[in-house]
Amino acid sequence: MKELLIIRHGEASHLARGITGGWSDSDLTELGCKQAIRTGLVLADMLGGRTFEVYSSDQPRAVQTAQEMARSLPAQMHFTPALRELNNGIAANLTLEEAARVAAPLTEPTIDWLPYPQAETWREMSQRVHAFLDGLLARDMQTAVLVTHGHAGVAAVFWWLRLGPEHWSRISFHFCPCSITYLGIDAWDERTIYKLNDTSHLSDIPSRFDRPDFR
């Protein structure tokens, strides 16, 4: 794989309602739809002439983002649970205050911390995302676009940079709604970050929420 583009879903309704993210049910807001449409237009220009496919989380907010982007992208769309956000277990669909009451104390190492009952750890989520990306790599694809979530997007960047578990609690990345992260291989065969959390294409579309925690 020579290029991997990571798109975080657009602004979602749970953010406006104060609901924890993770595996909560959440659709795009009107603003989120505008962000996704604009992102599709920009990607169509960036990837013009290339053959690529779009792989999206099957959570509604990501599916809607991919569908709005598809208005401008001549690409096949695939939806998969492998690109879902970090599973927040029983905290799904709870308010942030309600989720805080059922949250488990932080334990070390943090990548094995189970934040809520029936949730998954950072290690488990990362292994899920990495296994999916290993599968894409085996297909010898040149370019792939992922539509995913904050934490899952971080896991994808770790995979691209080949950063193992020893780095996962020391390094992180921040993704705003409908940001574009563009990863590629340069002329020296080095794994390169060309864009990270780029929202310049949304400069005239205000973003009200950009925290990635369980989003």
Strand extents, DSSP E, 151-200: 180-185, 191-198
Predicted pLDDT at 211: 54
Query: pLDDT value at position 71?
Result: 92
User: How many beta carbons lie within 10 A of that of residue 32, not counting itself?
Assistant: 28
pLDDT tens-digit profile, the chain (215 residues): 999 999 999 999 998 899 999 999 999 999 999 999 999 999 999 998 889 999 999 999 999 999 999 999 988 899 999 999 999 999 999 999 999 999 999 999 999 999 999 999 999 999 999 999 999 999 888 999 999 999 999 999 999 999 999 999 999 999 999 999 999 999 999 999 999 999 999 999 877 765 555 44
Rounded Cα distance, 178 and 169, in Å: 25
Domains parsed from the chain with CATH numbers: 3-202 (3.40.50.1240)
What is the β-pairing status of strands 180-185 and 191-198?
antiparallel
Helix (H, G, I), strand (E, B) or coil at 141: coil
| Bridge partner residues of 30 (DSSP) | none
Q: Give yes or no for a contact between 83 and 62, defined as CB atoms under 8 angstroms apart.
A: yes
| Alpha helix segments (H runs only) across the chain | 13-17, 30-46, 60-69, 96-102, 122-138, 150-161
Query: Rounded to whole angstroms, how far apart are CA atoms 23 and 106?
Result: 20
Beta bridge partners of 148: 8
Going by DSSP bridges, is the β-strand pair 3-8/53-57 parallel, antiparallel, or unpaired?
unpaired
Q: Is the pTM of this model over 0.85?
A: yes
Residue recorded with tokens 């956000």: 85
